[in-house]
Amino acid sequence: MAPVLKKYKAAAVNAEPGWFDLQESVRRTIHWINEAGKAGCKLIAFPELWIPGYPFWAWTLNYQETLPFIKKYRQNSLPSDSEEMIRIREAARANKIYVSLGYSEVDLASLYMSQVLISPTGDIINYRRKIKPTHTEKLIFGDGTGDTTASVVQTEIGRVGQLNCWENMNPFMKSYAVSLGEQVHIAAWPLLPDVSVRKEPDPYTNTADPNADIVTPAYAIETGTFTLAAWQTITDEGLKVNFPEGKQLPPREIFNGHGRIFGPDGQNLVPHPDKDFQGLLFVDIDLDECLISKSLADFGGHYMRPDLIRLLVDDKRKDLVVRQEGADGGIAYTRTIDRVGLSKPLSRSPKSEE
């Protein structure tokens, strides 16, 4: 399917999530979808774990201190087959907009760092889970499976892809995405402090600055894509609910102002947001602007040597319990997207919600 729209407006969210509050998180999600729709956008990109906010406290608190936070986080994470997800899908349909949403997904007793791409009809056209949570994230989230790995899907606005946080730095994930001809990329980022508070031996790459201004434009350059970097922000009120009572709070400014949008050649396309900015970053996309960068260096095509270097991708789900299928003793697989209910079409008539 060739793109119907080559030129259109898109938005990246640079705002505070509804910390530990599923209903408030959904309200804010729908609010920004509506705002992007009013602005005439065809695509809106949300940050990593936008619902119910990124658990950055896992990097700063000790084990005992994190336990109450983990419980509350689990209680306010988003099941994929929930009424809340239906409301978000309905908002996408009401605004006729593509929505890239990052959320903490509840699946039975486990959480996953998930992303969906919702179509303007409210259908889920891509569903993925971060393949490997980073460091302390492993204490909260599980790994993605083979059938939740793909990051790029063909749409009416081009081949759109999504990755979470350091997946945007992972050379194998970039190779996979570029092999699928990605044209527009959502780099979904969490809440990270800037380099001003870095302490040795914590690496420079574990701060916001290099991820916003090195990793993200590098992704755009290496893949030849428009790259929308959606970031979370935080207020003083948000800090209070993310730390135990009596704990000294860091200044909010160190976490904010990192939203970015880059062109296919790595050029910055929007002014850096102010530290207290809460809102949307807008960009005018022209898919033909990808042509020159890709004609010079298409690492998914003419500028690669598959006879020398290849990437093997296993896209099957591996279940703990499997069923035999047929007389030949084969294994029956149930796609994760079917099992969690995301493949079901919306059955309600469209409605608007603020």
Residue 354 lies in a domain: no
Q: Is there a contact between 337 and 127 (Cβ–Cβ < 8 Å)?
A: yes
Residue 306 lies in a domain: yes
Confidence of residue 349 (pLDDT cuts 50, 70, 90): low
Residue 347 lies in a domain: no
Tokens of 310: 């290849």
Give me the phi and psi of 331, to 5 degrees please. Answer: -100, 135
pLDDT(252) > 90: yes
Residue 350 lies in a domain: no
Q: How many domains does the chain have?
A: 1
Residue 351 lies in a domain: no
The string of pLDDT tens digits covering residues 130-144 is 999 999 999 999 999
Query: Rg of the chain over CA atoms, in angstroms?
Result: 20
Residue 352 lies in a domain: no
Residue 2 lies in a domain: no
Over residues 214-237, mean pLDDT: 98
pLDDT(328) > 80: no
pLDDT(1) > 80: no
Tokens of 83: 């009424």
pLDDT(344) > 60: yes
Over residues 165-180, mean pLDDT: 97
Long-range contacts of 194-197 (CB under 8 A, 24+ apart): 194/254, 194/255, 194/258, 196/254, 197/250, 197/254
pLDDT: is 316 or 218 the higher one?
A: 218
Q: Which domain covers residue 213, as residue numbers?
A: 7-339
Active site residues: 48, 130, 165
Residue 344 lies in a domain: no
CATH code of the domain in which 53 resides: 3.60.110.10
